[in-house]
Amino acid sequence: MVEQIIEFPDVMKQHETYTLPDVITDPDGKPIMYPKEEIGKNPIVVNRKNWRLFANFDLVRSKGKEIVVRIKTTGQLVRIRDMDAATVMYYVERIKPGATVHEAITYDIQKTIEETGDFEEDGEFMFYMWQLFVVLSYLIQYGVLILVK
What are the pLDDT digits (tens) for 80-100? 999 999 999 999 999 999 999
Structural contact between residues 145 and 54, judged by C-beta atoms closer than 8 angstroms: yes
E strand or H helix at 125 = helix 122-141
Strands 5-7 and 145-148, sheet pairing: unpaired
Would the pLDDT of 126 be above 70?
yes
Would the pLDDT of 2 be above 80?
no
Would the pLDDT of 1 be above 70?
no
Give 116's pLDDT tier (boundaries 50, 70, 90): very high
**What per-residue confidence (pLDDT) applies to 75?**
97
Would the pLDDT of 20 be above 90?
yes
Would the pLDDT of 3 be above 90?
no
Average pLDDT for 120-144: 97
Q: Which amino acid is at 12?
A: M
**What per-residue confidence (pLDDT) applies to 80?**
99
**What per-residue confidence (pLDDT) applies to 25?**
98
Task: Output the CA–CA distances (angstroms, integers) from residue 45 to 24, 41, 69, 127, in the order listed.
Answer: 13, 7, 26, 14
Q: Percent of the chain scored above 70 by pLDDT?
A: 99
Global pTM reads 0.96
Q: What is the mean pLDDT of the chain?
A: 97
Would the pLDDT of 130 be above 70?
yes
